[in-house]
Amino acid sequence: MTLALLVSLMLGQGYAPQRQGLDPLEAEKEARVMRLGKQLRCAVCQGVSIADSPASMARAQLDKVRELVSENKSDEEIYAYFIERYGEWVLLQPTTGGLNSVLWLGPLALLGIGLIVIVMQSKKSAVMLPMPQTAAAAEGASPAPTSDDALLAQVRADQEK
């Protein structure tokens, strides 16, 4: 019973292994490690950066970032290292190039197409609206007969028969 209580207390403490032995770097490089760590997704947690995650795997990933920074690797090289191992999913802010550009530009294209359809429909309905009477028609002059008037006269004649 005592052993079970001790084990449950250890598990309840949120135990996570400490870093793998890498000491913090000088302040400027450690700030860069944290900045890079905020841009990389933890492989275990959903939507949490490796700098914010308490998972042991995130700590190991942050130690790897620290190691790469101490080797004077560029930010692009560090991102490429993680993308090579985990895929582009590892970036919390995905790139806007390649296939992702379709995802970024798709909503804008749909919005543009929608606006074009709306403009075309409004122009179409504006053409179909009846024209206002001219001053001559308002004074009593009869408008010129149209094909619709002839058709209407024929329908009325057929109804009278």
The pLDDT value recorded for residue 112 is 93
The pLDDT value recorded for residue 143 is 58
The pLDDT value recorded for residue 111 is 92
Domain count, the chain: 1
Q: Residue 87 domain-assigned?
A: yes
Instruction: Say how far apart CA 62 and CA 65 lie, in whole Å.
Output: 5
The pLDDT value recorded for residue 133 is 58
Instruction: Say how far apart CA 61 and CA 64 lie, in whole Å.
Output: 5
Q: Residue 51 domain-assigned?
A: yes
Q: Residue 10 domain-assigned?
A: no
Tokens 């009325």 locate to 156
Those residues of the chain that have pLDDT short of 70 are 1-24, 94-98, 100, 127-147
The pLDDT value recorded for residue 140 is 56
Token pair recorded at residue 115:
């606006």
The pLDDT value recorded for residue 137 is 53
Q: Residue 70 domain-assigned?
A: yes
Q: Residue 82 domain-assigned?
A: yes
Q: Residue 61 domain-assigned?
A: yes
The pLDDT value recorded for residue 17 is 44
Q: What is the pLDDT of residues 134-150, one digit of tens each?
A: 555 555 555 555 667 88
Q: Residue 46 domain-assigned?
A: yes
The pLDDT value recorded for residue 15 is 45
Q: Is 35:45 a contact under the CB 8 Å cutoff?
A: no
Coil, strand or helix at 93 = coil
The CATH number of whichever domain residue 62 belongs to comes to 1.10.8.640
Tokens 């995650």 locate to 53
Task: Provide the domain limits for residue 58.
Answer: 26-94
Q: Residue 122 domain-assigned?
A: no
The pLDDT value recorded for residue 23 is 64
The pLDDT value recorded for residue 86 is 86
